[in-house]
Amino acid sequence: MNERLSEEMLPAEDVLRVEGIAKRYGAVTALRDVHIHLERGEVLGLIGDNGAGKSTIIKILTGFLQPDDGRIFVNGQEVRLRSVQYARSLGIETVYQDLALVNELSVYHNMFLKRERLWKPLPFLNNRAMRKQAQEHLERLGIRIPSVDVEVSKLSGGQRQAIAMARAVSSDAKILLLDEPLAAMGAREGAQILDLIRSLKEKDVSIIMIGHNYAQVLEVCDRINLLQHGRITFDKRVAPTLLEEITEIVMREYRTSKVGSG
Amino acid sequence: MAEEVAQDTSPSQTTLEGPPEQREQSSGVIGVLLKLRPLLLRAINIFLKQREASIAVVAVVLVIYFQASNSVFLSKENIALLGQYVAPAAIIAAGEVMLLICGEIDLSVGNVFALAPFLMFRAFDGYGIPLTLSIILALLASAFIGLVNGIVTVYFEVPSLIATLGTFFVLSGLTLIISDAFPALTPAPGTTYADVMGHGTYSGILWAIGILIIMQVVLSRTRWGLHTVATGGNPLGASEVGVNVRRIKIGNFMLTSIFGGLAGILESFRITSIDPKAGGTDIMFAAVAGAVIGGTALQGGLGTVIGAFLGVLVTDILKDGFTILGVSAFDFDLILGTAILVAMILNVRLQKLREAGRQ
């Protein structure tokens, strides 16, 4: 838990490794002894009930919250994610559930918000460059929208999600955290987002995806971690029987908690 | 992809052009006109896409109406007078619109308008500080008032409507204390300096237009403007992306206050005296109303500086036009209020048309 960079090398394929992370809010323990590892180009699904600690993990990995205990390694080097800006500089980008898009701005202005291109040395926005780059970037990712000039308010939920994800990976993000990317989305739009996740994976982006629709999460993820009461209780590669297995675990927990409270 | 975008910048252009074979068949003058038609329609289309287009149309209609009713309206004298009416509120509106776009409002600016010239006067007359430096000091003090407004709003989380209502009264009291409730004479009367600083016939309106151009560029062509829109449109989202929402808000409070102070100083040079009861709610409401009439959304995220300017212009054209038509002072507010409502309804209707044309 200090600034020291460990020389200790981990298996090369782990782009992110979390060891023994704990987080307490006063008397409430949100996370205890959480271990997560993420391989290069892997899509990891993080599932669990509301209040299980999913968003606390995301906030820690984003650099928004500091853990009380544990170590975090990025590309094999121990780091302290002291701020959102710092985590971003390490290639960790987050797409929040609210997408953080500004409805009143065009697609390309949204994509370049806070990393605007200017007519250096003049302080004026280089809209032409931003428009062109945004267009090329969306094209590369296979995201189709009417035009990058369109205001975000004119786009559908799926298109907005796609724009937010495209923005997150526009700056060489190697690790992408997706908070409920399929929430409140129709089946067809959801499928498009899953396609986008797959194409990002092919481009060597490693992804941690939070979700509560297990079927959809299983469709795109390579591996599933189940978070229960602040602990990872389940870590398995996706297999045909996995959905039943998870459903069984969740149902069992549901029953015991019912008995416990009743 | 590139062609797609070129088309998308004017989506209704193709529908307005008409079938191509029809254009090919025509010849002569009609042919030339028909060839020009798509260009013209495209120009109209681009114009109508601007947010401030509808209010510009309203302004033009009003000018035509008043000019038709009485040819004095577009006389040199009346245009000069109109410019003097418009300038102070237009200068304040250039700041207020930035605040409204980032989701805040400043009700106190009308009293910065009253206080700043007294601060200038005290510095110049009381402490013998050179006039230019006195003006700069008064503007710095104005900026400080904006800073206080911003800090109370952003850090103490008092809604700006309430925070600036508080400073409104504080400033009113300060002005009365500093002035002893007596007017003062503006320094350097009859000099070129005074002419430049607001006494010249067109000085005020030239300041206003200069500020209008600078602020419109700031809003639509700089990072500050983009972040101002983002702050008003989605404060949480903007801060998640890394926009310093607090800095943007405080900065725009300071900007509004500086413009309030500047407008007050220019006005004091224009009328050669400094009045402790100047400005107040009248000028503040003129600026806010101008911004809103010009298409600024009170909930933030939408608006332009040009729109705010045109909004102020329209209300003053109404006032001035009615005065020329000889409308009785008693009926004046009644008619003005109704006219504002009608202008706004027209504005909203035109905006709906504009949006329909966009799809």
Determine the residue of chain A that is closest to B244 in CA distance: A114
Which of A:89-108 have CB within 8 Å of B?
96, 98-105
Q: How big is chain A by its Cα radius of gyration, in Å?
A: 19
C-alpha–C-alpha distance, residues A124 and A121, integer Å: 9
At residue A69, what is the residue type? D
| C-beta separation of A31 from A21 below 8 A | yes
| C-beta separation of B107 from B283 below 8 A | no
Pick A69 or A245 by higher pLDDT: A69
* A84 lies within 8 A of chain B by CB: yes
Mean pLDDT within A146-157: 91
Helix axis angle, B305-325 to B280-293, nearest 10°: 110
Residue in this structure with the two tokens 């993820």, named with its chain if needed: A221
Question: How many CB atoms sit inside 10 A of residue A202's CB?
Answer: 9
pLDDT for B143 equals 98
Mean pLDDT within A231-238: 86
Determine the residue of chain B that is closest to A135 in CA distance: B1
> 3-state DSSP: chain A helix, strand, coil percent, rounded to 5?
35, 25, 35
Q: B8, A147: Cβ pair inside 8 Å?
A: yes
Q: B9, A149: Cβ pair inside 8 Å?
A: yes
Q: Report CA-CA distances (Å) from B94 to B10, B154, B214, B247, B288.
A: 29, 21, 9, 19, 10
Q: How close, in Å, is residue B232 to chain A by CA atoms?
A: 9
Cβ neighbours of B240 in A, within 8 Å: 96, 98, 100
Tokens of A43: 């899509």
Chain-centre distance of CA B242, in angstroms? 29
pLDDT band at B327 (very low <50, low <70, confident <90, very high): confident
C-alpha–C-alpha distance, residues A165 and A181, integer Å: 9
Q: B302, A147: Cβ pair inside 8 Å?
A: no
Residue B295 pLDDT > 90? no
pLDDT for B6 equals 39
C-alpha–C-alpha distance, residues A43 and A53, integer Å: 19
Q: Give the residue from B46, B240, B299, B304 with the most A CB atoms within 10 Å of its CB, the best one to mutate.
A: B240
Cβ neighbours of A87 in B, within 8 Å: none
Determine the residue of chain B that is closest to A126 in CA distance: B221
Chain-centre distance of CA A71, in angstroms? 19
Tokens of B280: 């107040």
Cβ neighbours of B223 in A, within 8 Å: 116, 118, 123, 125
Residue B2 pLDDT > 70? no
C-alpha–C-alpha distance, residues B76 and B72, integer Å: 9
Interface of B with A (CB under 8 A): 1-2, 4-5, 8-9, 217, 221-223, 226-227, 229-230, 232-234, 236-238, 240-243, 301-302
Q: How close, in Å, is residue B285 to chain A by CA atoms?
A: 26
Mean pLDDT within B284-289: 92
C-alpha–C-alpha distance, residues B341 and B347, integer Å: 10
Residue A13 pLDDT > 90? no
Residue B13 pLDDT > 50? no
pLDDT band at B296 (very low <50, low <70, confident <90, very high): confident
Mean pLDDT within A174-189: 85
Mean pLDDT within B320-340: 80
Q: How close, in Å, is residue A193 to chain B by CA atoms?
A: 21
| C-beta separation of A38 from A175 below 8 A | yes
CA angle A25, A30, A35 (to 5 degrees): 130
- Burial group, residue A256, by CB count within 10 angstroms (0-12, 13-18, 19+): exposed
* A85 lies within 8 A of chain B by CB: yes
pLDDT for B30 equals 73
Q: What DSSP state is assigned to residue A212?
A: S
Query: Looking at this predicted complex, what is its ipTM?
Result: 0.80
pLDDT for B204 equals 96
C-alpha–C-alpha distance, residues A260 and A253, integer Å: 10
Residue A2 pLDDT > 50? no
* A4 lies within 8 A of chain B by CB: no
Q: B8, A123: Cβ pair inside 8 Å?
A: no
Residue in this structure with the two tokens 């297999």, named with its chain if needed: A239
pLDDT for A107 equals 96
Quickly count helices (H) and strands (E) in chain B.
Answer: 18, 2
* pLDDT, averaged across chain B: 87
Q: CA B121, B126, B132, B137 torsion: positive or negative?
A: negative
What's the pLDDT tens digit per position in B66-118? 999 999 999 999 999 999 999 999 999 999 999 999 999 999 999 999 999 99
Q: Which residue among A102, A123, A150 places its CB closest to the CB of B229?
A: A102
pLDDT band at B272 (very low <50, low <70, confident <90, very high): very high
C-alpha–C-alpha distance, residues A10 and A74, integer Å: 10
C-alpha–C-alpha distance, residues B251 and B273, integer Å: 31
Residue A232 pLDDT > 50? yes
Q: Give the residue from B51, B226, B228, B236 with the most A CB atoms within 10 Å of its CB, the best one to mutate.
A: B226
Mean pLDDT within A224-238: 87
Cβ neighbours of B301 in A, within 8 Å: 102-104
Q: B223, A116: Cβ pair inside 8 Å?
A: yes
> What percentage of chain A exceeds 70 in pLDDT?
92
| C-beta separation of B73 from B324 below 8 A | yes
Q: How close, in Å, is residue A62 to chain B by CA atoms?
A: 11
pLDDT for A11 equals 47
Q: Which residue among B9, B223, B230 places its CB closest to the CB of A105?
A: B230
Pick A21 or A189 by higher pLDDT: A21
Q: A118, B223: Cβ pair inside 8 Å?
A: yes
C-alpha–C-alpha distance, residues B312 and B319, integer Å: 11
pLDDT band at A218 (very low <50, low <70, confident <90, very high): confident
Residue A122 pLDDT > 60? yes
Q: Which residue among B226, B301, B302 places its CB closest to the CB of A125?
A: B226
| C-beta separation of A179 from A48 below 8 A | no
C-alpha–C-alpha distance, residues B282 and B116, integer Å: 17
Q: A139, B1: Cβ pair inside 8 Å?
A: yes
Cβ neighbours of A100 in B, within 8 Å: 234, 236-238, 240-241
Mean pLDDT within A52-77: 90
pLDDT for A102 equals 94
Cβ neighbours of A113 in B, within 8 Å: 226-227, 230, 238, 241, 243
Cis peptide before B189 (omega within 30 of 0): no
| C-beta separation of B251 from B224 below 8 A | yes
C-alpha–C-alpha distance, residues A99 and A111, integer Å: 11
Pick A125 or A48 by higher pLDDT: A125
A20 phi and psi angles, rounded to 5 deg: 60, 35
Q: B238, A150: Cβ pair inside 8 Å?
A: no
Q: Please report the number of interchain residue pairs, chain A to chain B, with beta-carbon separation below 8 angstroms.
A: 73
Cα–Cα nearest to A147, from B124, B28, B82, B4 = B4
Pick A45 or B358 by higher pLDDT: A45
Cβ neighbours of B241 in A, within 8 Å: 100, 113-114
Mean pLDDT within B5-19: 40
Question: A90 - beta bridge partners?
Answer: none
pLDDT for A117 equals 95
C-alpha–C-alpha distance, residues A40 and A45, integer Å: 14
